[in-house]
Homo-oligomer: A and B are copies of this chain.
Amino acid sequence: MVVRNAVLGLLAQRPRHGYELRAAFEALAGGEENWDVKPAQVYTTLTRLERDGLVVEQSVEQDAGPEKRIYALTAEGQAALQDWLAEGTPPEHQRDEFYLKLMLALVSGAVDPYRLLNTQRTVLYRELHAITNQRARTDPNRELAKVLLLNKVAMRLEADLRWLDMTEARLDEIRRQPLPEPEARPRGRPRKGIE
């Protein structure tokens, strides 16, 4: 969904061909080490967008090199882009992988939960360190956008690290708790009216 709309946004700026879209996307998203879009995705996305009438193949250029299929936004495409930009962006799912992993470690008993927390702390610290270094090497006068992105990532990592400490302090309490057993719910009794 994000890539699809990003393609629309870049075509709103000016018509482009697939290869160019890929490069432009990665430049905006913070470089290929951060968000690597595969060619296959770009071309299939363009095919679907054309099929859905959000984009048209404007022309095929060929100036000393391979042919370039140039796409442009349609009115429908412009509208779709505007809708997407106007919408609020839902805080990308609290489908939290690490939290679940910790819970599964507790119920399955397969690994030591304290080891899990320590491993994760190391991962986050390393990542934070890498991000901080990268930020220090980035010139805020020429690449302010990138610095802002790095700040966002760093702030999230710091929040997650604080959470790890908090959670470790409470871990013994969680272990003493019975974990939720949903199959204990009574059968066949409607429960809608209660809530």
* In the complex, A48 has a CB within 8 A of chain B: no
Bound-state Cα–Cα, A3 to B107, Å: 15
| Contact with A111, one of B34, B82, B103, B170 (Cβ below 8 angstroms) | B82
- Are B144's CB and A100's CB within 8 A? no
A 69-95 binary contact with B (CB < 8 Å = 1; else 0):
000000000100110111111111111
Question: What is the chain B residue whose CB lies nearest that of A1?
Answer: B97
- Are B145's CB and A179's CB within 8 A? yes
What is the distance, in angstroms, from A121's C-beta to the closest C-beta of chain B? 9
Question: What is the chain B residue whose CB lies nearest that of A73?
Answer: B108
Question: What is the chain B residue whose CB lies nearest that of A82?
Answer: B110
| Contact with A148, one of B81, B84, B119, B174 (Cβ below 8 angstroms) | B174
Q: Which positions in A face B, CB cutoff 8 Å?
A: 2, 5-6, 9-10, 12-13, 20, 23-24, 26-30, 34-35, 78, 81-82, 84-101, 103-105, 107-111, 115-116, 119-120, 122-124, 127, 142-145, 148-149, 151-153, 155-160, 162-163, 166-167, 170, 173-174, 177, 179-183
Closest 7 CB pairs of A and B: A9-B104, A88-B123, A12-B108, A23-B182, A27-B180, A159-B159, A155-B159
Instruction: Pull 18 A–B residue pairs with CB atoms less than 8 Å apart, ordered by A.
Output: A5-B101, A6-B100, A20-B183, A24-B182, A84-B101, A85-B104, A85-B105, A87-B119, A94-B153, A142-B177, A144-B174, A145-B179, A148-B166, A151-B163, A151-B166, A152-B163, A156-B159, A158-B159
